Structure 1
Amino acid sequence: MKVFSFIWSLLLVSVCLVQADDPVTSESDSSSFNGTSTHTNNWAVLVSTSRFWFNYRHMANVLSLYRTVKRLGIPDSQIILMLSDDIACNPRNAFPGTVFNNMDQALDLYGDSIEVDYRGYEVTVENFVRLLTDRWDANHPRSKRLLTDENSNIFIYLTGHGGNEFLKFQDAEEISAYDIAHAFEQMHEKKRYNEIFFMIDTCQANTMFKHFYSPNILSVGSSAIDESSYSHHSDMDIGVAVIDRFTYYALDFLEKIHKNSKVTMDKLFDVFTFDNVHSNPGIETSLFNRKLNETLLTDFFGNVQNVQVDVKNDDILYVSNHDSNGARKDKVVEEQQEEGAGTISGTSPSPKAIFGDSDAEERRTLIDISSFQTKIISLVTVVVLSALWFIGKEMDK
């Protein structure tokens, strides 16, 4: 019985050692989710769906977010700006060529550095859906396309007048919650995004994302069903409201964020209280696969420019550096040199000398044994030898 107990103890210790060192189960090398985004680039789609002077605040809303994402690093080439653009030069504007979001006209949002991609009657439901799904003819300018891929994080912001599951465009047409949901699904099927952050400031805004069903979408809206979205304040010199409450408090928070900030999304959502917004903002996280307290604000408002290298067997660089068997040419030269050295000095021959012209991948498979298998073989050998030694000692008694 002592012999079997000893062998069983050795086996248990061996299994524990393998699990501790195995890269699949080791905590230090675990590939489990840690909240880090895998995107390589950022885009923003900012849309004011209103026109006419009394909707001044909607243009101020979208230009405020435009200024913020540019300040945090997203370039104009990766921002799509859609707005009626009929406010700055409106005859009623007491400050021609300007748009403000504050009462003392301290910050001009319009200036001379904005790039409007779709203006006036170009801001339509059709163009918005085509933009998301990239369904354009061959003559459509690249500067007016959303050139995203499966590694892109996209911030989409909409503001205007809406209702239960619809948003008005230019007081002429409407886009429904189903239209946006289906457009997002097309984007998912065509691998046009990694994650989407959808923000909407309008009456009954939360109804606009209730039908989303595509993965990796985080949504927030300014008001629940049957609730209005309220303006924050008016400028008596301009004569109209200059910003909405929901967007005002979002901007108030984002102004404290810098490009390298580690502040997470949950901190932004904490400011969307009823006391601030005067309605019940909605947050939809069921389609989003990361925790809000592990998702950085800069994952959507900032600008990441990582590079993902794709290895293709038919590009010029690959062909010039590999032979017909897929082996790197510099490796072949090294192996030939090793062969010569082995022949002269009596050292072990290279794999090529042993296996001849067999495929490079097959040589690696035959020669290389994974670290996990090596550990298993070593541990089993130790267990068997130890058991035999113990049995021998018992028999000597």
Structure 2
Amino acid sequence: MLILPWLSAAVVAAASWSQRVHAQNADQEHAVRGFFNAQSGSVSSHTNNWAVLVCASRYWFNYRHMSNALGMYRTVKRLGIPDSNIILMLADDVACNPRNKFPGCVYSNAGRSLDLYGDNIEVDYRGYEVTVENFLRVLTGRMDPSVPRSKRLLTDDRSNIFVYMTGHGGNEFLKFQDNEEISAYDIADAFEQMWQKKRYNEIFFMIDTCQANTMYSKFYSPNILATGSSEIHENSYSYENDNDIGVAVIDSYTHHVLEFMEGIGKTSHKSVQDLFDTYSFEKIHSHPGVRADLFRRPLRQTLVTDFFGGVAQAEVLSSALVSGQGIPNTTERSHAQEAVPEKLAMVNAVEAYRTNATSGQTSTQQIEIVRTRALDTAAMFESYARGEQGSFSITARAWASVAVAGSLIAWVSRISKH
């Protein structure tokens, strides 16, 4: 029939037009990538930031540990990480403690210029929920289905995670509320599980406790940067006391880090090496350590805001996502859902003409053939959309589908008239 050459020509023309569109898209994509690469001073490939902040102590005389964690909490929020991306584990027994001369407040300096507790704090794990088991479950994602999303670390392989811990510790261990301990091996194995399950892109681990540097000595997973407040057999010390409160209000190492962070904004170009360069025994009264052998990026090119702040960069996705390799499930599902209405439209059109067609065995058989070919053609375009037969432009698929549907309808019209 004459319609078949016309149909073939339409499909060939659509394919040719698709190639031209694909070339134009490639040029545009190259230009966009060049723009964003030029605008970005960081070589990080992450797309979201998270923070896990743990105060492993409880009781009034450990006031400073709660202040340490709340100081970090305030900093990461100020730099752009939302509460939805922060897991805060806190005994939370200080602000409303009967001994607190300033009820509902937690301060980190003797002048009490800043209330760290404030009105906008979200504690995810409180009191006796702060356990080694819960901490490890948060990291590894091995949560009971009943645990709400707000208590989960919903990270992926494009997530940068800042993990901060403070409390009382020793050689390769950290105490949790005087009831149990977590070892350096436990944290190292948890990070390895996270890496195997693609739960992080990079981790920045920071710990303030006695002999803190021993806590990251057992790490073996890639893309982890670690720092601690003191060497083995060395104590970490508090910074200052508040005579009205009656206890130390912050630790020296954390105070020093937070002091540096106060000079950082969301768009700062300060690197983590700039932070490490400020470490001083004279200021901190211990020897902070840094471990970067597992970290793949130069510390001078690693921005502090890569971990402490919100992500301020764009990710340019490839225009060939429909090729099917590494395609996100959500995208694949959307393509499939787009293809189904086209199939149904062609089938319904043929069915309508079949209903209106004049009676006759020959005409009915021909229309049945048309219906079968419509299904096959729609299935073919659906497979192209899913990437099962190579890369194919979505736009070209739509135009080709229209051409095929129009051809089939015209063919059925001719058949029905005879």
Give 1:221 shift.
0.3
Q: Deviations over 1:346-374 (max 9, x none)?
A: xxxxxxxxxxxxxxxxxxxxxxxxxxxxx
* Paired position in structure 2 for 1:323: 381
Aligned pairs for 1:75-224 within 5 A:
75-224=82-231
Letter in 2 for 1:283: V
* Paired position in structure 2 for 1:61: 68
* Paired position in structure 2 for 1:372: none
Alignment CA distance shift 1:337-1:318 (3 Å): closer
Which runs of no fewer than 5 residues in structure 1 stay unpaired?
1-27, 339-397
Moved more, 312-321 or 200-209: 312-321
CA distance in 2, matches of 1:140, 1:60: 27
Contact 2:167–2:209 (Cα < 8 Å) also in 1: yes
Q: How many residues align?
A: 308
The one of 43, 46, 51 aligned to 1:44: 51
Alignment CA distance shift 1:334-1:83 (3 Å): closer
Give 1:315 shift.
1.2
Give 1:270 shift.
1.3
Three-state SS of the structure 2 residue aligned to 1:315 is helix
| Alignment partner of 1:288 is 2:295 | yes
Alignment CA distance shift 1:56-1:319 (3 Å): same
Q: Deviations over 1:54-89 (max 9, x none)?
A: 100000000000000000000000000001000000
Contact 1:35–1:290 (Cα < 8 Å) also in 2: no
Give 1:276 shift.
1.1
Moved more, 119-128 or 317-326: 317-326
Give 1:156 shift.
0.3
Aligned pairs for 1:196-345 within 5 A:
196-304=203-311, 306=314, 310=327, 314-318=332-336, 320=338, 323-326=381-384, 327-328=392-393, 330-331=395-396
CA distance in 2, matches of 1:172, 1:330: 62
Which runs of no fewer than 5 residues in structure 2 stay unpaired?
1-33, 318-326, 340-379, 385-391, 404-418
Alignment CA distance shift 1:98-1:315 (3 Å): same
CA distance in 2, matches of 1:133, 1:44: 14
Alignment CA distance shift 1:48-1:337 (3 Å): closer
Letter in 1 for 2:109: N
CA distance in 2, matches of 1:293, 1:97: 41
Contact 1:35–1:291 (Cα < 8 Å) also in 2: no
Three-state SS of the structure 2 residue aligned to 1:199 is strand
Contact 2:91–2:127 (Cα < 8 Å) also in 1: yes
Letter in 2 for 1:243: I
Contact 1:132–1:183 (Cα < 8 Å) also in 2: yes
Three-state SS of the structure 2 residue aligned to 1:323 is helix
Alignment CA distance shift 1:329-1:236 (3 Å): closer
- TM-score, scaled to structure 2: 0.70
Three-state SS of the structure 2 residue aligned to 1:62 is helix
CA distance in 2, matches of 1:246, 1:165: 19
Aligned-pair identity in percent equals 61
Contact 1:157–1:200 (Cα < 8 Å) also in 2: yes
CA distance in 2, matches of 1:330, 1:251: 52
Contact 1:169–1:175 (Cα < 8 Å) also in 2: yes
CA distance in 1, matches of 2:114, 2:243: 16
CA distance in 2, matches of 1:111, 1:83: 15
Alignment CA distance shift 1:38-1:302 (3 Å): same
